[in-house]
Chains A and B, each alone.
Chain A
Amino acid sequence: MSFIIYALLNTTFVILISPLFVSLIKKVKAYTQGRQGPPLLQTYYSLLKLLKKETVYSDNTSLIIRITPYINIVCVIVASLSVPIVYIPGMVGGFGNIILFLYLLVFAKFFMALAGLDAGSAFGGMGSSREMTVSAVIEPVIIIVFAALGLLLKTTNLYEMFRTSLQSSLFINPSTLLISLSLFIILIVETARIPVDNPETHLELTMIHEAMILEYSGPNLALMEMSHAVKQTILMAVLINILIPWGLTSAPSVLTVSISIITFIAKGAILAIAVGVFESMFAKSRLFRLPNLFMLAFFFSFSTILFELLK
């Protein structure tokens, strides 16, 4: 019962807050380019507007593109249950297992890539191909980062990880700082941002994620945008709750939950600004240069493992 309350609270909060971070990053990027940028609530308006539009399907498409938006949003929402933001609940039936968490996100990605091929457009296929390539090459890095975390925090469950990091001040630990760098790179890669992907263009040379969702329209596009935003929020939450968990609570009451919500919004805003600034500092890099970036993350996390093992 208490888990259902947690699930409702956490999911509602994640869904409500996610578009805000998307807008915030856009705003920061606009400022660095000397523009005003869209208002902070623009993503909410766009989503609501998309819901009211009609859906256009290509003649070539099959069932896949029709179910993909639903699969995507469902997978990221269930994955978000593994990342406590409002408060850390007790363990229930394997939620919080890192492998499960990662593979739910892969599930969403798998169908998104399939749907990219569905319409028979060259753009979609290109996007799918690149997305699966990037995700295959980043996967060892992700696993090693979480293995390093597991080694550091002595658990493979995200709930337990957050609880441990809450009880100890891990951020002064050099291992945590190294892991955070890797987690930041993973955040950039998984949310399709510069230098991996450019979320703002529709040029075939630079697109990965946008190329795959080119054929969506109306409510389906809203679902895809929403699931992308939610995914970004939960990956940010993983980084935040491990590096700077202050404010998060494992003893829920009205007061502690509101504190953890308010502190999360503040910390999330800072991270979103950091992402925006980071993105403005770099140019999109060539696809085949990306493995170098991933090797950097791999090196950071593997050296953490070596450090922890040989300590």
Chain B
Amino acid sequence: MMNLLFICGLCVFFGATIFQIVLAAKASAMARRFSLWAMLGANLLFLLFSLNIVLRDSTFSVNLYQLTDILHFSFFVDRLAAFFMMIISLVSATACLYSLGYIEHHGSNTDKNFLVAMMSLFIIAMLLLVASDNTFSLLFFWEIMSITSFFMVMFEREKADTRKSALFYFVMTQMSTTFLMFSFIAIYHVTGSFDITAIPVVSPFLKAVIFLSLFIGFGIKAGVMPFHKWLPYAHSAVPSNISALMSGVMIKVAIYGLIRYLVFVLTPDRWWGVMILVFGTFSALLGVIYALKEHDIKKLLAYHSIENIGIILIGIGLYLIFQSYGFTDLALLALIAGLFHSLNHALFKSLLFLTTGSVVNATGTRNIEKMGGLMKVMPYTGFLFLIGSVSIAALPPFNGFVSELMIFQAFLQSFVIGNPFLKILLFFGLSLFALTSALAAACFVKAFGVIFLATPRSEEARKAKEVSPSMIIGPAILAVVCLALGIFSFQIFTSQGFTLPIPNLMFIGVALVVTLGLVWLFMRLVSNRATRKSETWGCGITSQDSQMEYTASGFSEPILTIFRPIYRTRKKVERNFSDNGKSIFKDGIAEIQTFKLFEERIYLPIANFVQRLSNTISNLHDVDLDTYILYSFAAIVILILAAGWFI
């Protein structure tokens, strides 16, 4: 039965891919739609498959293809893998549904077909990666995932910006593969097999090296600071349905890898937990702080992905710390918080990216300063975006609140730990986490308020139209799941055998609804129900226009000023005057530049160093024949000496 579901799902996906690639130049919108429906069906099969395993806590294994004795494509799905497969298939299903309408708006016919083919291959690569039983197959699908996503980032390849982003993304993603391959080979060196199983005791140094290179490898893909820079670039280039997949799902695959290795393969040391916690806290805080200054809505959401990955890492870090002290209950709470936040973030971030896609489509811009007033012309999209914002801002009774609450609870219990320095570090982490959460709320007041409220700030925003039904139903499903996972969180965890110290949000939900009913009834009976329309009060100005509204820059200005040391903004004001007394202003220049800390201090120095090194090496080749013969001679001598040394 399970075998059938797995194989059927695979076949449909590969069928859709091949169908789309073969017919790339010819296939019509009809054929494309057919492929997307097929992919939707295959996702539902996988959803059924993974739910079955998650809820029953069973396992599933299959060996698909034996290449050599140690290299084979074999799959093993336990509860953890199935949980992530569930995230992938659920989000992908809604993204496919959304794409039915969305994909018709962009690019040429061939491009669209190719995008669908890549999307199908991308989803299947992620599913099989998570299901992989050995590092060979994991790395194989990791590369397929990276390459297909690179092609999708290149979708609008005629723009110079896109090409630059895609190249940046490609380099980063290959670096991540290099680090992973290094650690997998190191593990192979220890165990002699490519299977993902617990490794025996090794020297602390080797263990640390394996952990660090795994952390960097998965960290680059997950977008952990300071390896995050590709996220905003790639997301601003890629179509929105793919953003939802990349941000909602692909970075979670890296989280899966990290959890798999930390829980099942390695025996973690205490400092690993502290390190992950510190990286997580800084990713979360800096992610949201950078998001606040962003006016490109897709970059803003990308920075929020970094923030949420940070929150997930905080959960994992707390798990390792509590585990190392033997507090298994608290460790379980923190780990479940991390996992549940992975699911929640996948849901609300995809919801936000999909509705953003609709908005960008309708207005033709990604700059939120040119939007405004869309709530009146796109009410459904606006409402769905609002639900996404409320979830990501961690407001009760939505799902984001539950996972953040679990992390708060784990933090608040951290006084049980013996080490006073660690305790103080954890309480400090708690305060930074609270700051992150509050700034996220501020950021989404800005995003929703500036995009959907007040009056339109540009002609395009004024002419925007509501999108087609499939582009509403897809996100709507995610929105319903967001609310349901929040309200029924207590029941879900209890039914799965986890008793966690979280409030029963169903009661809270009932209390909210009953109170609302009573207030409404009271107001209906007592208050005056007459309403009147008038204009906004503007201190006596006769007609108000969108120029007078608060802008996104204005909104975030106070926060930017308070956190100025972090942004390292450089303000430059030059003024010229018409007279010597400097009283009559003629003209002037005012500039505000933000210092790109990570790019200018970390990425560029490394890139420059590599550039210089390769220049030096290429200079060695700019010589005549005699010198080449000398090189060959020297090489042979060194080889002979080396062979004598080793043999």
- Residue positions of A touching B, CB distance < 8 A: 7, 51-60, 62-64, 70, 73-75, 77-78, 81, 92-95, 97, 99-100, 103-104, 106-107, 109-110, 113-114, 116-126, 128-130, 132-133, 135-137, 139-144, 146-147, 150-151, 156, 214-215, 218-219, 222-223, 287-288, 291, 298, 302, 305-306, 308-310
Contact = CB atoms under 8 A, between A and B. Distances in A.
A310 B420 contact: yes
A222 to B, nearest CB: 7
Given A70-B520, A92-B507, A103-B401, A114 B528 contact: no
A288 B536 CA distance: 29
26 contacts: A54-B531, A59-B533, A95-B511, A99-B409, A100-B508, A106-B395, A113-B449, A117-B453, A117-B555, A120-B546, A126-B554, A132-B442, A133-B558, A135-B442, A136-B439, A136-B441, A142-B434, A143-B408, A143-B433, A150-B412, A156-B412, A215-B537, A218-B528, A223-B519, A223-B523, A288-B558
B532 A121 contact: no
B638 interface: no
A94 B515 contact: no
Interface residues of B, number: 85
Nearest to A298: B431
Contacts of B427: 144, 147, 302, 305
A74 B562 contact: no
Nearest to A308: B415
Given A117-B454, A120-B455, A287-B558, A140 B424 contact: no
B373 interface: yes
Interface string B523-563: 10011111111111110000010101110001111110110
A118 B453 contact: yes
A285 B487 CA distance: 41
Given A120-B544, A140-B432, A218-B528, A135 B536 contact: no
A217 to B, nearest CB: 9
Contacts of A123: 537
B447 to A, nearest CB: 10
B453 A62 contact: yes
A73 B531 CA distance: 20
B437 interface: yes
B503 A93 contact: yes
B503 A100 contact: yes
A109 to B, nearest CB: 8
Contact of B515 (A78, A126, A309): A78
Contact of A110 (B433, B445, B537, B549): B445
Given A120-B455, A125-B550, A129-B557, A103 B520 contact: no
A288 B558 CA distance: 8
Contact of B395 (A57, A59, A107, A113): A107
Contacts of A129: 446, 550, 554-558
Contacts of B506: 93
A97 B424 CA distance: 23
Interface string B416-452: 0000100110010011111101110110111011101
Given A95-B503, A117-B450, 6 more contacts: A55-B532, A63-B379, A64-B375, A99-B408, A116-B449, A121-B549
Contacts of A63: 375, 379
Interface string B218-247: 000000000000000000000000000000
Contacts of B444: 110
B341 to A, nearest CB: 15
A125 B529 CA distance: 27
A144 B550 contact: no
A74 B534 CA distance: 27
Contact of A120 (B442, B548, B556): B548
A94 B505 contact: yes
A106 to B, nearest CB: 6
B375 A222 contact: no
Contacts of A215: 536-537
A10 to B, nearest CB: 12
A123 B505 CA distance: 36
Contact of B562 (A81, A142, A143, A291): A291
Given A56-B532, A94-B507, A140-B434, A121 B537 contact: yes
B550 A103 contact: no
B396 interface: yes
B452 A147 contact: no
A117 B537 CA distance: 13
Contacts of B507: 92-95
Contacts of B536: 58-60, 119-121, 215
A70 B548 CA distance: 28
A116 B549 CA distance: 11
B549 A125 contact: yes
B62 interface: no
A230 B613 CA distance: 67
Contact of A57 (B393, B442, B532, B544): B532
B504 interface: yes
A59 B432 contact: no
A222 B535 CA distance: 21
A51 B533 contact: no
Given A93-B504, A97-B503, A104-B396, A144 B430 contact: yes
Contacts of B561: 288
